[in-house]
Amino acid sequence: MKREFNPKKKIMNMKLLAGAAILVLLFGFASQPLYSAMAVTVNATGNSTSTNTTHSTTVTVTPSTTEGSVTFTATVADTSSSPTTPTGTVSWSDNGAGGTFGTTSCTLSSGSCTTSYTIPTNPPNTVTITATYGGDSTHSGSTGTFTHNGQSTPPTTNPPTTNPPTNGNNPGGGIGVNSQDRQAAYQTFRSAQQAANQALHAAQQAAYQAYQSAIQAARTTYQGAIQSAEQTFKSAAGSARSTFQGAQSGAKGNPQAMSSAMATRDSGLVSAQTALDQALLNAITARDQALATAEANRATAVSQAQATYVNAMGTARTALDTALGNSAAATRDTAIWSAAATRATAVGAAETTRDNAYGQAAQTRDTALYNARIAMEQAIGTAAQTRDTAMASETTGKGSGPANAQAMATANIAYDTAVGQAQVTKDNAVGAANAAYDTSVASADATRDQGIANANIAYDTAVQNAWAAQVSSSSTSGGTTSSGGTTSGGQ
């Protein structure tokens, strides 16, 4: 049975190229700011309470960055049980850091207003931005602050989803990092990104070419083994038939001699067929193993290439964060890209394990199929010999009378019965072998899918933890002020 190994293929959650593309999207850059506006609820550091108001408020300060400046948005929220939209103005201060606001106060519209802030040339270690809401006729005043490292940009709580910039903007560039240094950092990142992409493409091409060469070699070897086995079979079968023809001539019509010659011929043919089947089994088993190995090697090579790409991109991204003075982002990105590399390795291992399982299942199936076929042919050969022997015994000295005809019919019935049973046994064995193969393939697929799912869950958890760690670090080190309670008026 020439059933070539052909592993089932499913569309991936990694493939890892799709995962690498998502990572580039998550941690790349574009003409838009790298750090988009994010809502950071900041604890108030001062209270402003009016006795004639009933609704308490809080102020949320939201930063975003553009080239050379930061935009702050103040959002005033009514925290009472029956909230209404606050009105009035918000005043801004950097508490003497030396920066310049586009406007030192802004009027609320739908509860929020915005001002721009130009970073001072020589900023202090920390810059605290204070937004003070003066209240209105029904809302108390309140104050919100945003404090960040003076040499870095405000942290965010959501990963960036933009691509590398081409216009030299500084999305998330550190405060105090000049434009020339930022441009150099971006150029270094882009060069590293291009080199990583080229290396990934080259590795994938090499893996595919090696796979194709291995597949071709396996098929060539298989074809050669099949041709050799068939030639050996033809030679052995021809020899058995030639021997029979010689014996037939020498028998000169003697039934017993003819029967003996037929039995010898059948035995020779069965032996030749058995040898052919064994050779075919060896050839197809070797081919299936070679195909499975080639597939597993390809999956491993691709996985390693993807892991190398992810590591290179992680190193480049962390270096960029460091160059821009954003140590928190550098720590975060190191963790995320390390998790991505781990995921790529795990996905590759799951693919390789599945391919190896496919190969083993195919070998087991093919062995069972050929053993079933060999058993059938041996049973048929034995039945033929028994029939020929019976015919020779019955025909000796009995001529061609009714008794002889009945004996020959009985021998043929026994032969046909044995052949039928042998074929049924073979068919049952073939069905069981194919069913076992399908079960093994399904199990291998399920194991692979579970492995990839586990890898994705571990990666997503690591990403979540990395972002949480950055937010926590920013909060404890001054990214958001934690002193004081929420500013509120009486309710």
Query: What CA–CA distance (Å, rounded) separates 427 from 438?
Result: 17
Contacts of residue 96, Cβ cutoff 8 Å, sequence gap at least 6:
none
Is the pLDDT reported for residue 247 higher than 70? yes
Quick one: pLDDT at residue 466? 84
Is the pLDDT reported for residue 21 higher than 70? no
CB atoms < 10 A from the CB of 345, how many?
A: 18
Flag whether the pTM goes above 0.75. no
For the ranges 37-46, 157-166, 237-246, which has the lowest average pLDDT? Answer: 37-46
The domain ranges of the chain are 16-27+190-477, 47-152
Mean pLDDT, range 389-410, rounded to an integer: 65
Task: Tell me which amino acid residue 469 is.
Answer: A
Greatest mean pLDDT among 57-66, 215-224, 344-353, 398-407 lies in 215-224
For the ranges 22-36, 92-106, 265-279, 333-347, which has the lowest average pLDDT? Answer: 22-36
Quick one: pLDDT at residue 220? 92
Quick one: pLDDT at residue 420? 92
* Better-scored residue on pLDDT, 358 or 40: 358
* Better-scored residue on pLDDT, 77 or 151: 77
For the ranges 230-234, 241-245, 362-366, 406-410, which has the lowest average pLDDT? Answer: 406-410
Out of 2.60.40.2410, 2.40.10.10, 2.40.160.50, 2.60.40.1260, select the CATH number for domain 47-152.
2.60.40.2410
pLDDT band at 30; cut points 50, 70, 90: very low
Average per-residue pLDDT for the chain: 74
Tokens standing for residue 400: 């061609």
pLDDT, tens only, 426-475: 899 899 989 998 999 899 899 989 988 998 898 888 888 888 887 777 66
For the ranges 29-43, 79-93, 125-139, 366-380, which has the lowest average pLDDT? Answer: 29-43
Burial class (CB in 10 A: 0-12, 13-18, 19+), 351: buried
Query: What CA–CA distance (Å, rounded) separates 274 from 270?
Result: 6
